[in-house]
Amino acid sequence: MSTSSKSSRRPCLIAAILAGLIATGCSPTPPAAFRLNMVEAISPTAEKDSIAAEQALTTEQQRQVATILAAMFGTPDEPVCLPEAGLDGSKLQLAAGPVRSDIVGRKNGLYREHCVHCHGITGDGLGPTAAFLNPYPRDYRPGVFKFKSTERADKPTHGDLVHVLHNGIAGTSMPSFALLSPTQVDALVEYVKYLSIRGETELALMRYYFELDDEDEGKLPETREFLVDEILQPIADKWASAADAVIDVPEPPADLDLAASVAKGKELFYGDRANCVKCHGVTGLGDGQANDYDDWSKNIVKIEAKLASLAGNELEPAEHRWIADFHDVLDGDALQPRTIPPRNLRKGIYRGGRRPLDLYYRIHAGINGAPMPAAAGTVSPEEIWHIVNYVRSLPYDFDGELGVDRSMAVQSNVAGALAAQETSDQ
């Protein structure tokens, strides 16, 4: 059969199959598409939190955001990479699009193969499996990452994300991708950065609507100066400068034996300065203050609070619409917020890595996006090492040590925390 006759038959074959599928009630899968950040689109803002109806982006504004994002970042199947984003287009091509491989066995569509079922096409942490997982899969769009070697507010380095992919996150559903080649892991990390930069750009665009003047008529300027220089460039710069923000870790104190270091760490743990006991509890079981949320949930919690404040009020029609929008968002664009429990330090499961260095980073910079604060301003680097040593001793701390900790907590003037915990226990 000639090639031309083959190709002339192919459309007929495809059309026949499509017709058959549609006739049997099956419709072809639509192309993958990014979703708008609807939680942000309807979120109350500090400026306008008195009138709910004015806080939601209009349909026209949502459409404009989608158009701008498509122009700047393309689609999940065909990502676009502006030079200012600082991303490697060839790596993106390897990670993006549907799963397929070439004759030498090089897989493309790596994100769709390995990540999308949990993190979702948009990287919003809303993949199909998300509701089954605790913690929820990471939403990349705010550009906030927990486990990294940089200061709290800074972006993770490329190496930090490679580290997470290689080791997975113990105690969560995030697996290790150690069996992937370094090239594949690199491509996935680049795509995660792409989704983050895209998500951060989306957030910046949405928030900019509330800074528009009346003469702007509710529309964002669609100029290169605004979209690239003012919005994209600052975001990309933060990612590019992450390597400069790596925490400088001094060597552990060499002249102190381990037992003494652990004892000092214990004092700091229960003391007012580090005050680890407040959340991790007097027992170290993570049973301290546990009613806080991470940053990804706070928007939803804020909206729920807003909703509660409107209860009983006589509402405008626009406010009714806003409430309906919120329920729509909860149905398909958000997950029910969960409080974030402080880590149980006696289990020996450290999500950001079990190396002493990893624990040093966590204590020094805190955990971005989570209530865990940075200790760097209140305790010295040497003292952080003592806390590291104490924390690492806790899984092996048996035989009634919990009781000792309890009395020590009282002695250390954290009776308030203890009393609060006892009240909550009751």
Partner 1 sequence: MLNADRGKPQALRDAAVDRGSLARGGGQSRWNVPRVLSSVLVAVTFVLLSFGALVTTYEAAMAVPDWPGTYGHNMFLFPLAEWLGGPWDLFLEHGHRLLGATAGLVAIALAVSAWLWPVGPRVRWLAVAAVVLVVVQGVLGGARVLLDDTTVAKVHACTGPLFFAVTVALAVLTRRPAGVDQPSAAFSLAATLPVAAYGQLVAGAQLRHLDPATTPPVFHALVGTHILIGLVVAALAYAIAAATWRSVNRAAHRWSAAAAGLVSAQLLLGGATWVAKYGLPSAVLPDAWRLSEAIVARSGSAAVIVTAHAILGMLILAVGVVVAIAAAGRGVTAADAKPGVRRTAAGLREALV
Write down the least CB distance from residue 17 to partner 1, Å. 4
Please say whether the dihedral angle defined by the alpha carbons of residues 137, 142, 148 and 152, taken in this order, is positive or negative: negative
Write the CB contacts of 384 (distance below 8 Å, at least 6 apart in sequence): 360, 363, 364, 375, 376
Residue type, 376: A
Q: Which residue of 41, 118, 144, 375 would you call a contact of partner 1, by CB under 8 A?
A: 118
Concatenated DSSP letters of 386-400: HHHHHHHHGGG--TT
Write down the least CB distance from residue 194 to partner 1, Å. 16
With respect to partner 1, which residue has the nearer C-beta, 130 or 205?
130
Q: Which residue in 204, 55, 233, 225 sits closest to 142, CA to CA?
A: 204
With respect to partner 1, which residue has the nearer C-beta, 111 or 385?
111
**355 conformational bin, left if phi > 0, alpha if psi -120 to 50, beta if neither:** beta
156 binds partner 1 (CB under 8 A): no
Peptide bond into 135 cis (omega under 30): yes
With respect to partner 1, which residue has the nearer C-beta, 33 or 415?
33
With respect to partner 1, which residue has the nearer C-beta, 93 or 172?
172
Q: Which residues ranging from 317 to 336 are in contact with partner 1 (CB under 8 A)?
A: 331-332, 335
Stretch that binds partner 1, among 36-44, 94-102, 150-158, 262-270 (CB under 8 A): 94-102
127 binds partner 1 (CB under 8 A): yes
Residue type, 103: I
- 345 touches 280 (CB < 8 A): yes
Q: Which residue of 58, 67, 129, 223 would you call a contact of partner 1, by CB under 8 A?
A: 129
140 binds partner 1 (CB under 8 A): no
Q: Tell how far CA 255 is from the center of its chain.
A: 40
Binding mask 338-377 for partner 1 (x = CB under 8 A): ---x--x--xxx----------------------------
Q: Which residue of 10, 48, 63, 320 would you call a contact of partner 1, by CB under 8 A?
A: 10
Q: Which two tokens stand for residue 149?
A: 């070697």
- 385 touches 252 (CB < 8 A): yes
Write down the least CB distance from residue 100 to partner 1, Å. 4
Q: Which residue of 23, 46, 104, 254 would you call a contact of partner 1, by CB under 8 A?
A: 104
Concatenated DSSP letters of 299-311: HHHHHHHHHHHHT
Distance, in Å, from the CA atom of 373 to the CA atom of 350, rounded to the nearest integer, reads 16
- Give the H/E segment covering residue 288: none
Q: Which residue of 157, 167, 196, 275 would you call a contact of partner 1, by CB under 8 A?
A: 167
Stretch that binds partner 1, among 16-24, 206-214, 366-374, 375-383 (CB under 8 A): 16-24
15 binds partner 1 (CB under 8 A): no
Stretch that binds partner 1, among 6-14, 54-62, 194-202, 370-378 (CB under 8 A): 6-14
Q: Which two tokens stand for residue 361?
A: 């980073």
Q: Tell how far CA 332 is from the center of its chain.
A: 18
Stretch that binds partner 1, among 7-15, 60-68, 251-259, 397-405 (CB under 8 A): 7-15
171 binds partner 1 (CB under 8 A): yes
Stretch that binds partner 1, among 95-103, 216-224, 232-240, 252-260 (CB under 8 A): 95-103
Q: Which two tokens stand for residue 109?
A: 């569509």
With respect to partner 1, which residue has the nearer C-beta, 17 or 318?
17
Q: Which residues ranging from 25 to 44 are in contact with partner 1 (CB under 8 A)?
A: 26-30, 32-33
Cα distance from N-terminal residue to C-terminal residue, the chain: 81
Q: Which residue of 49, 53, 84, 172 would you call a contact of partner 1, by CB under 8 A?
A: 172
Please say whether the dihedral angle defined by the alpha carbons of residues 7, 11, 12 and 14, taken in this order, is positive or negative: positive
Q: Tell how far CA 202 is from the center of its chain.
A: 15
Q: Which two tokens stand for residue 263?
A: 């004892």
Write down the least CB distance from residue 219 to partner 1, Å. 29
Concatenated DSSP letters of 218-231: T-----HIIIIIII
Q: Which residue in 357, 153, 157, 147 sits closest to 249, CA to CA?
A: 357
Q: Which residue of 51, 70, 71, 99 would you call a contact of partner 1, by CB under 8 A?
A: 99
113 binds partner 1 (CB under 8 A): yes
Residues of the shown chain interacting with partner 1 in the complex, contacts defined by CB under 8 A:
10, 13-14, 17-18, 21, 26-30, 32-33, 98-101, 103-105, 107, 112-114, 116-118, 120-121, 126-135, 167-180, 331-332, 335, 341, 344, 347-349
